[in-house]
Structure 1
Amino acid sequence: MTTRRSYGDSCAAAHALDLVGERWALLVVRELLLGPKRFRDLRQGMPGLSGNVLSQRLRELEDVGVVRRATLGPPVGSQVYELTDWGRDLEPVLTQLGKWGGRSPLLDRDAPRSIDSVMLSQRARFSPSVAGDLNADIAVRIDNDRFAVRVGEGRLDVERAEISKPDAVIETDLPTFKDVLTHELDVDVAVASNRLQVQGRIELVRRLFDAMLVPATVQ
């Protein structure tokens, strides 16, 4: 086991930070929340992270039971990293951190973001009260990535997967999806300019993005 620094404090929050508080550790967790990834795919999602540091963080997260290695079945057969059940329990922690950090006046909203970060941010922005009785399975296709966004009973779920019979299909690129998500670009304007293609029930797509709130910046 790698040597880890510790706060030496019996508070459970302090212990949690002993486990996942090192720089980049929680971002590694973020990149695995939507499914397993190869080492090179993790690097792609965090371009500011060196290979050596990523290897160290993965070892540390494996040692404490947050991450484990797995092998994809044939014909791929690649080694991947995935979250354990306990590791996946960190999703609401990251969602709440996103809600809190999204209100910071110091947040650089033009800085690069991974596609997983953008897709997961829907959980932090989603307003059940605005969504109301919205019930929809929406396929999101961003370049070569495929996501399933499911809304129902006041809950939004996102996973890296295809939907066999979606109510609507969104096809776009990451900058456009991010702009629509943050209300910098209207859905209908994006469709009219061909930046966003929608198949199926576009009214459900409008309602989905209407339910994405922009957090108020702290004054």
Structure 2
Amino acid sequence: MKLEKITENDQPVTKRWYDDACGTALALEIVGERWALLIMRELVFGPRRFSELKANLPGISANVLTQRLQGLEASGVLTRRTLPSPANVQVYGLTEWGLESQAMMRDLGRWAARSPRHDPYAFMSAASAMMSLQALVDPDRARDIDLTMAFRFPADAFVARARNGAIEVTRGESGDAAALFEGDTMQMRVTFYGKAPFGAAEGMTVTGDLDAARAFTGLFRLPEKVA
């Protein structure tokens, strides 16, 4: 049976990069442009304004960011909308289908962290730092635990819950978390991956149940590098 090419008004919807029916090839056509996947990463935990995206993606120009947002919107990965008054600002958010990419980004990050080229202390946005918890949790250690922690960064806040061997992350404040971690993403990595003791000058400030906080930080580790 001959399959018909998907067209719109008798013209291809987009120019294909690869003459390949594999889903991986198509995925690269959707997210393979430079910055595209990182823009999606920033939107995993909720909609963001253009200025917020640009601030969390050092090195991207406003022109390139605009182009990538337009491309991802055309592909059905994200949408844009205007918040109601009094905000009246435009935000970008992942579609339901776009959100399905979260597991892919998490697993890709875990895989790449084993590279000798991986620098765990380079720049990291707050969204990226929280996704790192999802990628680098030890499932065996987290399997029989149920802990909720709050994170407050200079311009963002999150809640992370460890249960059933995984980490669930949502953006926002929490009043019922066992402990609160405050600081920037470098301090977060020093605390969680460098295992700096609580109270160390270079780590995060921790308030609340310190025993629960220690149990939580003990769930994470950097993977061994490949030879």
State TM-score, norm by structure 2.
Answer: 0.88
| 1:67 partner letter | L
Q: Indicate yes or no: 2:150 matched with 1:121.
A: no
- More moved, 142-151 vs 109-118: 109-118
Q: How does 1:98-177 map to 2 (within 5 A)?
A: 98-177=109-188
C-alpha separation between the residues in 1 aligned to 2:188 and 2:78?
A: 29
Structure 1 residue corresponding to 2:214, chosen from 206, 210, 214: 206
The one-letter code matched in structure 1 to 2:111 is W
- Per-residue deviation, 1:173: 2.5
Equivalent residues of 1:181, 1:212 under 8 A apart: yes
Cα displacement string for residues 131-152 of structure 1 (whole angstroms, at most 9, x for unaligned residues): 2422122111112321111112
- Of the candidates 202, 208, 223, which is equivalent to residue 215 of structure 1? 223
- Tell me: CA distance 1:42–1:144, structure 2 relative to 1, closer, same or farther (3 Å): closer
Counterpart of 2:52 in structure 1 is: 41
The answer as to whether partners of 1:141 and 1:147 remain within 8 angstroms in 2 is: yes
SS at match of 2:81: strand
SS in structure 1 at match of 2:150: strand
The CA distance in 1 between the partners of 2:200 and 2:119, in whole Å, is 29
Q: For residue 82 of structure 1, report the CA deviation from its aligned partner.
A: 0.2
2:24 to 4, 8, 13: 13
Instruction: Map 1:34-73 onto structure 2 (within 5 A).
Output: 34-73=45-84
Which secondary structure state, in structure 1, belongs to the residue aligned with residue 48 of structure 2?
coil
Q: How many residues align?
A: 216
Contact conserved, 1:103 with 1:217, CA < 8 A, in 2? yes
Larger relative CO (CA 8 A, sep 6+): 1 or 2? 1
5+ residue gaps, structure 2, are 1-11
The reply to whether residue 186 of structure 1 matches residue 189 of structure 2 is: no
Provide runs of 4+ in structure 1 moved above 6 Å: none
Read off the aligned partner of 2:213 and give its amino acid letter: V
Q: Does the residue aligned with 1:86 lie in a helix, a strand or coil?
A: helix
Deviation, 1:64, is 0.8
Q: Decide which of 31, 38, 56 is 1:27's aligned counterpart.
A: 38
Task: Determine which structure has more spread, i.e. the larger CA radius of gyration.
Answer: 2
CA distance in 1, matches of 2:67, 2:23: 24
- The alignment partner of 1:214 has SS state of coil
TM-score, reference length from structure 1: 0.91
RMSD (CA atoms) = 1.9
Q: SS at 2:68's partner residue?
A: helix
Deviates more, 1:86-95 or 1:108-117: 108-117
Q: Which runs of 5+ in 1 are unaligned?
A: none
